[in-house]
Amino acid sequence: MKITVLSDTHMPRMSKQLPAPLLQDLQDTDYIFHAGDWTDISLYEELQSMGKLHGVYGNTDLAIIRGLLPEQTIVEAGGKRFGIVHGHMGRGSTEDNALQAFKSEQVDCIVFGHSHIPVLKEENGIILFNPGSPTDKRRQSQYSHGVIRVDDEMDIQHVYYDSK
């Protein structure tokens, strides 16, 4: 099973379209996870037509997106439990906020965004994964999104590219 993961797209302000490497991964994906800061409803509609979409709203999202999506959610896929949250709510770092959001839940992996910084690490037996941004790299050297493959185990990786 393949999950394509993205966050912080900020469309259409940062880009009018998704980058080619991301579109390629979306072609054969089973699930799409978006960790917030879509900015406009058109991206939600586009991704919804491409596969099983699960997402949350972020701090820059319009009221229409906040009305459609939760602040955080848990998705069961491939026998694993994924927590999805943007990571902006709380007083700690983005990673700490993501962990706090699911402190009373049993999850295998927390997908989050907000910082635009790609992260892949384990904390207390939970995998923390921030895909970065495919359209707004900020201080990062490359744009990025993520791919999670679930068989018996999870294989999680970032996909990096130089242009959007």
Q: Is the pLDDT of residue 96 over 80?
A: yes
Q: How confident is the model over 29-45, as a mean pLDDT?
A: 94
Q: Starting from the edge strand earliest in sequence, which strands make up the sheet with 80-85, in order?
A: 72-77, 80-85, 109-111, 126-130, 119-123
Q: What value does the mean pLDDT of the chain take?
A: 94
User: Which of the pair, 120 or 89, is modelled with greater confidence?
Assistant: 120
pTM of the model: 0.95
